Amino acid sequence: MHFYRPLRPLAALTFDLDDTLYDNRPVIKQTEHESVAFLQNYHPGLSHFQSADFHRLRQELREQDPEIYHDVTQWRWRAVHLALSRQGLRDAEASIGADAAMQNFALWRSRIDVPEATHATLRALGNVIRWWRSPMAMPIRPSAGWSNTSSLCCAPGQMAAPSRIRICINWRSKGWAWRQNKSCTSGMT
């Protein structure tokens, strides 16, 4: 890595771990397969539903609402809701089905196997970042066991943030809650 400007004090180090420190392609492939299977079994009218059908629904939603792609969780939920609605389910029934499909998606998406070397790298990086008195932030999968390696943990599906992301901030000098390795209950977004 080459730096062409002097480094200023870091405010925070942020990154997404998927495909940065581990290969998530097998997880994505399995999750998509299981998500389609869930829909095929959820309603008889979707017994022949395929991944391509899901992608067509997502494209249709994006044409109606070009900004939807910023919230991939909502985009996925709405695509499932649309698929169920088109099978004749009422709005409330389609919402229940979409919620169930999202729970299934989250279950499979969180089934990752992260090598110990990745955990060791994150712990070492976290120690360096703390020396600079800067937070390290990353979105996490709760099942991955990373909540103790970062000072800002963002876990999906646990807070009503824009894409249902839970945010916990751990940095004393900014006056935010000091909640290292604990759940964040202050409701910060």
Cα four-point dihedral sign 69, 101, 91, 40: positive
Specify whether the backbone of 157 is left (phi greater than 0), alpha (psi in -120 to 50) or beta: left
Q: Which of 16, 19, 23, 91 is catalytic?
A: 16
Is 136 in contact with 12 (CB distance < 8 Å)? Answer: yes
Tell me whether residue 113 is one of the annotated catalytic residues: no
Q: Where are the alpha helices (DSSP H) in 65-172?
A: 72-85, 91-109, 116-131
Phi-psi group of 73: left, alpha or beta (phi > 0 → left; psi -120 to 50 → alpha; rest → beta) = alpha
Please give the positions annotated as active site.
16
